[in-house]
Copies of this chain bind each other. A is one copy, B any other.
Amino acid sequence: MISKLIKEIQKKNAPIVVGLDPQLGFLPKKLLHAGFKEYGESLEAVAEAVFEFNKAIIDATYDLIPAVKPQIAMYEQFGIPGMVAFSQTVEYAKSKGLIVIGDIKRGDIGSTSGAYAMGHIGNVTVGSKIFTPFDEDIVTVNPYLGSDGVQPFIDICNRNDRGIFVLVKTSNPSSGEFQDREIDGRPLYELVAEKVVEWGKSSMDGDYSNVGAVVGATYPEQGRILRKLMPKTYILVPGYGAQGGKGADLVDFFNPDGLGAIINSSRGIIAAHTKSEYAKFGEEHFADASRQAVIDMLDDVRGALGTK
């Protein structure tokens, strides 16, 4: 799977991913009202608006980007209808040739992680039929439970040509509380990174592994160290834009081959219409604002990487 992601990144000269993390607060009123008209004031109405929102953003940006990353919490918050919108979004993005990174941060004891892996990147056999329930290409995984909580995901990566990104150093302000604590003189996130390298060896796909890592754009110094510690690991870098990361901070997340990282922006792209710099588009043209925000992000990232 990682070789497929790399191919798409190179084809579009775009080491970026758009985070599809819709929130009620910035859903265009027109879409919400259309939902209300069809379903009344209900979770179904919101879910319908969410899917229409995502569809418009995908339509406006898919030619520029290799992948999207729906954050499942933003769908789960709307219950079953929200989960339906998640599933529809995955399907629609794939129909447009995009790679889908499900930001699910699952992780549990072995057999339970196996169930998550089956549901998200694997398949389930029912009688004589086979189903692929959520069918993402790649998912994010929480490492707190250790190898036996991660291995079931890797097994399915190998069986189904899929990928995972394991949380190493997250982008949030309190990520250091546990992740930065020193063990034998080195922070916990480095030990997790070493495990990611070890796990990744069993799932190589070209020069890189299907087992990637998450390292926040908000921690560029740690990014530089982790880049060197995990030379064959692709790094998913959240925290660009709304969380404060900038293109220039990101250079060290990449390898000398110009590969090795993919930068996520969520609110910075999908809520562009709410920001003063894109106000001229108006709420009506939110998807055009998102397209312009993608173009500006690409300009920033390519500028920093010298690939304009």
User: Given A79-B131, A188-B188, A107–B148 Cβ distance below 8 Å?
Assistant: no
Q: Report how far A105 CA is from B107 CA in the complex, Å.
A: 7
Oligomer: number of copies? 2
A181, CB-defined interface residue at 8 Å? yes
**Per a CB cutoff under 8 Å, which of B80, B84, B128, B181 touches A188?**
B181
A 169-206 to B, binary, CB cutoff 8 A, 1 in contact else 0: 01111111111011110001001100100000000000
Give, as a whole number of angstroms, the nearest-CB distance from A69 to chain B.
Answer: 12
A46, CB-defined interface residue at 8 Å? yes
> Which residues does chain B contribute within 8 Å of A183, judged by CB atoms?
181-183, 188
Total A residues in contact with B, Cβ cutoff 8 Å? 69
A 153-179 to B, binary, CB cutoff 8 A, 1 in contact else 0: 000000000000001001111111111
**Per a CB cutoff under 8 Å, which of B36, B78, B191 touches A181?**
B191
User: Given A80-B84, A83-B83, A167-B144, A131–B172 Cβ distance below 8 Å?
Assistant: no
Residues of A whose CB lies within 8 Å of any CB of B are 21, 23-24, 36, 41-43, 45-46, 71, 73-74, 76-80, 82-84, 87, 105-110, 112-113, 115-116, 118-120, 124, 126-129, 131, 133-134, 142-149, 167, 170-179, 181-184, 188, 191-192, 195
- Known A-B contacts: A43-B131, A178-B192. Give 20 more (CB < 8 A): A41-B126, A76-B115, A76-B133, A77-B119, A77-B124, A77-B133, A79-B134, A80-B80, A83-B83, A105-B108, A107-B142, A110-B172, A142-B144, A144-B144, A145-B172, A146-B175, A146-B176, A147-B177, A181-B188, A188-B188
